[in-house]
Homo-oligomer: A and B are copies of this chain.
Amino acid sequence: MNDPDFRNKVADRLKKVQDDICRALEEADGAGRFSEESWERPGGGGGRTRILQHGGVIEKGGVNFSAVHGELPGNVAKALGVQEGNFFATGVSIVMHPLSPMVPIIHMNVRYFELGDGQWWFGGGIDLTPHYVDEEDARWFHRELKKTCDRFSPDFYPDFKTQADKYFFIRHRGESRGIGGIFFDRLTGPHDKRQFYFDLIIGVAGTFAPVYTHFMRKKSSLPWGERERQWQLLRRGRYVEFNLVYDKGTKFGLDTEGRIESILMSLPETAGWFYNFTPEPGSPEEQTLSQLRQARDWALES
């Protein structure tokens, strides 16, 4: 397989994804601008890290492109269940931590992976982590994802939604990171299926900007105070726990000695751990917590 034309096509298209998303986010943010660092990986390849800090809506967010290749480290090969050898991986990763606790955190990743022996697969997903769960927003978000998935196959959304619920679960807390979304990995098949999955991840990536800028515009003017900020810090603490303990992308980055500041751009500017914090019964914080302790079929609810 090892088709350099296809690799380059995917990588070039993902660079454009990064450009388009950064432009849309800057426009919706109003004040912030992305700064860029280009970096090279000693083992091969590199990336373009774009970070927006202290914007009008976004406190800290990253839109990262990378295309790395080289020898797959033994522990990574083992974790992936594949033979050691050459690999190529390209993707775009996004995490946005807004200033306002009323605006949700969002994460997107789309990726293409190839091994020296000809194996290839696509993966990706989008998921939302509201500090306060708004049921109407949750239904709208999932329906938007479903619309995108349905353009490719009616089977995708239910499958990918279930995978997201499983993946974004913080086992030691018994709660999910947020309200989920879609998650998929190892999409592969016969050679002629490659373009189809490529189109799928581009479709998913195309859903990101309209969905998140909708929330930026809708929620950022809502009032909030010290109480909401404390709760936001606590929910961000959970986000940190998930990313450092469970997230496979973070682990892959650390294990392949990627650029550390690019990998950990997913972490919020500040986070908090308040011992044994228990929200008051009936409070919005308690309602959010109970939402995070059950998986719901948001897209199917009326």
Given contacts A244-B240, A244-B241, contact A269 B273 (CB under 8 A): yes
**Contact, CB under 8 Å: B260 / A275:** no
**Contact, CB under 8 Å: A275 / B270:** no
The answer, yes or no, to whether A271 is at the interface (CB within 8 Å) is yes
Type the 1/0 row for A257-295, where 1 means its CB is closer than 8 Å to any CB of B.
100110111011111111110000000000000000000
Given contacts A244-B241, A260-B172, A270-B271, contact A37 B276 (CB under 8 A): yes
Nearest chain-B residue to A237 (Cβ)? B267
The answer, yes or no, to whether A245 is at the interface (CB within 8 Å) is yes
**Contact, CB under 8 Å: A275 / B261:** yes
Interface residues on A, range: 20 to 34
Nearest chain-B residue to A233 (Cβ)? B270
The answer, yes or no, to whether A173 is at the interface (CB within 8 Å) is yes
Nearest chain-B residue to A272 (Cβ)? B270
Docked CA distance A270–B263 (Å): 21
The answer, yes or no, to whether A31 is at the interface (CB within 8 Å) is no
Docked CA distance A272–B240 (Å): 11
The answer, yes or no, to whether A51 is at the interface (CB within 8 Å) is yes
Min C-beta distance of A269 to chain B, whole Å:
6
Min C-beta distance of A208 to chain B, whole Å:
20
Docked CA distance A60–B275 (Å): 8
Docked CA distance A260–B170 (Å): 12
Nearest chain-B residue to A52 (Cβ)? B275
The answer, yes or no, to whether A254 is at the interface (CB within 8 Å) is yes
**Contact, CB under 8 Å: B37 / A260:** no
The answer, yes or no, to whether A53 is at the interface (CB within 8 Å) is yes
Nearest chain-B residue to A278 (Cβ)? B261
B residues in contact with A267, CB < 8 Å: 237, 273
B residues in contact with A271, CB < 8 Å: 240, 270-273
Q: List 23 A-B contacts (CB under 8 A).
A: A37-B276, A51-B276, A60-B275, A62-B275, A171-B254, A172-B260, A172-B263, A173-B260, A233-B270, A237-B267, A240-B244, A241-B244, A244-B244, A244-B245, A245-B245, A265-B275, A267-B273, A268-B273, A269-B273, A269-B274, A270-B270, A271-B272, A271-B273
